[in-house]
A and B are shown apart, each in its own frame.
Chain A
Amino acid sequence: MISREQRTPFSEWWWTVDRVLLAAVIALMLGGVILSLAASPPVATRIGLDPFHFFNRHVMFLLPSFIVLIAVSFLSPLQIRRSALIVFAISVALILATLLIGPEVKGSRRWITLLGVNIQASESAKPAFVVLAAWLFSESARRPEMPATSMALALLMTLVSLLVLEPDFGQTMLILMVWGALFFIAGMRIIWALGLAGISAGGLFAAYLFVPHVAGRIKRFMNPASGDTFQVDTAMEAFSNGGWFGLGPGEGIAKRSLPDSHTDFVFAVGAEEFGIILCLALLALFAFIVIRTLSRAYASEDMFSRFASSGLAILFGIQAAINMSVNLQLIPAKGMTLPFISYGGSSMVSLAYGVGMMLALTRQRPRTEIDSLGNADAARGFA
Chain B
Amino acid sequence: MTDQIVPLAGHHVPWRQRLIRSLLYGKDVDRNVKARARVGFAMVAFAAIYGVIAFRLVTLAVVGDSHGTRRTASQDYVATARPDIVDRNGEILATDVKVPSLFSEPRRIIDKDEAIELLTATLPDLDTPEVRERLSSKKGFAWLKREISPQQQQDIHKLGIPGIGFLRENKRVYPAGPAVSHLIGLVNIDNQGIAGLEKWLDTNGLADLHRAGFASDRLQKPVELAVDLRVEHALRDELIKAKDKYKAKAASGLVSNVNTGEIVAMVSLPDFDPNNPREVNDPDRINRLTTGVYEMGSTFKTLTLAMALDSGKANLNTLYDARGALHYGKFAIHDTHPLGRSITLSEVFTFSSNVGAARVALAQGVEAHKAFLKKVGQLDRLRTELPESASPIVPKRWVDLNTITIAFGHGIAVAPLQAVMGINAMINGGYLIPPTFLKRSQEEAREAGKRVVKKETSDKIRYLMRLNAEVGTAKQADLLSKGYYIGGKTGTSEKVVGGRYSKKQVLNSFTAILPADNPQFQVLVMLDEPKALPETHGFITSGWNAVPAGGKVIARIAPLLGIEPRFDLPPSDRLILAASKGSQ
Chain A residues close to B by CB (< 8 Å)? 140-145, 147, 149-150, 181, 184-189, 192, 236-237, 239-244, 253, 256-257, 271, 275-276, 279-280, 283, 286-287, 290-291, 294-295, 297-298, 301-303, 306-307, 310, 314, 317, 321, 324-325, 328, 330, 367, 371, 374, 378
Contact = CB atoms under 8 A, between A and B. Distances in A.
B36 A298 contact: yes
B64 interface: yes
B126 interface: no
A253 B49 CA distance: 29
Contacts of B60: 236, 239-240, 271, 276, 328
Interface in B45-73: 46-47, 49-50, 52-54, 56-58, 60-61, 63-65, 67
A221 to B, nearest CB: 15
B42 A328 contact: no
Contacts of B9: 144
19 contacts: A143-B8, A184-B38, A187-B25, A187-B34, A188-B25, A189-B26, A243-B64, A253-B110, A256-B162, A271-B60, A279-B57, A291-B46, A294-B43, A302-B2, A306-B35, A306-B39, A310-B39, A321-B50, A328-B57
Contacts of A295: 43
A294 B35 contact: no
B212 to A, nearest CB: 28
Contacts of B107: 237
Contacts of A257: 110
Contact of A253 (B17, B65, B162): B162
Contact of B17 (A145, A256, A275): A145
Contacts of A283: 50, 53-54, 57
B166 to A, nearest CB: 15
Contact of B50 (A149, A242, A286): A286
A186 B33 CA distance: 10
Interface string B3-35: 001101110111001101101111001011011
Contacts of A378: 5
B545 to A, nearest CB: 67
Interface centre among B35, B56, B65, by most chain A C-beta atoms within 10 angstroms, is: B35
Given A141-B35, A253-B162, A185 B42 contact: yes
Contacts of A279: 57
A188 B35 CA distance: 9
Contacts of B21: 140, 144, 149
B46 A290 contact: yes
B38 A185 contact: yes
The 3 closest A-B pairs by CB, nearest first: A240-B64, A144-B9, A276-B61
A185 B32 CA distance: 10
B52 A330 contact: yes
Contacts of B497: none
A324 B448 CA distance: 76
Contacts of B23: 189
B64 A242 contact: yes
Contact of B2 (A143, A185, A303): A303
How extensive is the interface on chain B, given as a class? 35 or more
A294 B46 contact: yes
B163 interface: yes
Contacts of B446: none
Contact of A303 (B26, B32, B46, B63): B32
B54 A310 contact: no
Contact of A187 (B29, B43, B58): B29
A30 to B, nearest CB: 21
Contact of B56 (A145, A149, A328, A374): A328
B65 A297 contact: no
A239 B59 CA distance: 10
A276 B203 CA distance: 46
Contacts of A188: 24-25
A287 B43 contact: no
A187 B36 CA distance: 9
B219 interface: no
Interface string B157-198: 000001100000000000000000000000000000000000
A184 B53 CA distance: 24
A43 to B, nearest CB: 13
Interface centre among B10, B40, B56, B58, by most chain A C-beta atoms within 10 angstroms, is: B56
B569 interface: no
B39 A297 contact: yes
A255 to B, nearest CB: 10
B1 interface: yes
A4 to B, nearest CB: 27
Given A142-B8, A144-B21, A317-B49, 7 more contacts: A142-B5, A145-B14, A185-B35, A240-B60, A244-B64, A271-B60, A328-B56
Interface centre among B5, B17, B60, B63, by most chain A C-beta atoms within 10 angstroms, is: B60
A276 B56 CA distance: 10
Given A144-B13, A244-B65, A253-B163, A287 B47 contact: yes
B383 interface: no
Contacts of B64: 239-244, 276
A98 B18 CA distance: 40
B39 A317 contact: no
Nearest to A275: B61
B108 interface: yes
A141 B63 CA distance: 50
Contacts of A330: 52-53, 56
A189 B32 CA distance: 14
A301 B5 contact: no
A218 to B, nearest CB: 19
Nearest to A251: B162
Interface centre among B17, B21, B25, B39, by most chain A C-beta atoms within 10 angstroms, is: B39
Nearest to B68: A243
A314 B36 CA distance: 15
A345 B5 CA distance: 43
A374 B35 CA distance: 18
Contacts of A236: 60
Contact of A307 (B35, B40, B162): B35
Contacts of B40: 298
Interface centre among B32, B46, B65, by most chain A C-beta atoms within 10 angstroms, is: B46
A186 B410 CA distance: 114
A244 B21 CA distance: 52
B43 A291 contact: yes
B108 A185 contact: no
B57 A280 contact: yes
Contacts of B6: 141-142
Contacts of B54: 280, 283
A252 to B, nearest CB: 10
A276 B31 contact: no
Contact of B53 (A149, A253, A325): A325
A50 to B, nearest CB: 18
Given A240-B64, A244-B61, A298 B39 contact: yes
